[in-house]
Amino acid sequence: MENKKTARNFREYPVWQQAVEYATKIYQITAEMPYFEKKGLCDQLQRAVVSISSNIAEGSARPSDSDFAHFLDMALGSAYEVETQLLISKNIGYINLNIYEQLRDELISIEKQLAGFISAIRK
């Protein structure tokens, strides 16, 4: 029988806290991107980065571990999407190499935490 949880508090998860902090940084960086990108790469990057913490929060309200893990899977997918969009941003010169590497490293930390969380829940 599947383990049911009724009182998850997403605010207490370090990965959620880091994802919110990370999204704030991405918003600050996209604010500096060219205006013509506001409906392109900036919009995609902002949506994907907000999706990470949002899916953690939404999933925490689900009663079953498998439902929660599904939302964590979506958060991880969004993190991979952000990683791809950051690489594109670097490649076209919107962010420099140092900023890219810092953001990538922070994101990889979030991805590892999500993967570990998913693995722990599914055991």
Q: Right CATH number for 35-122 from 3.30.200.100, 3.40.50.20, 3.40.640.10, 1.20.1440.60?
A: 1.20.1440.60
Tokens of residue 82, six digits: 């952000």
pLDDT the model gives residue 34? 87
pLDDT in tens, 60-112: 999 999 999 999 999 999 999 999 999 999 999 999 999 999 999 999 999 99
pLDDT in tens, 9-37: 999 999 999 999 999 999 999 999 988 88
- Other beta carbons within 10 Å of 52: 30
Contacts of 110 (CB under 8 A, 6+ apart): 15, 18, 19, 22, 52, 79
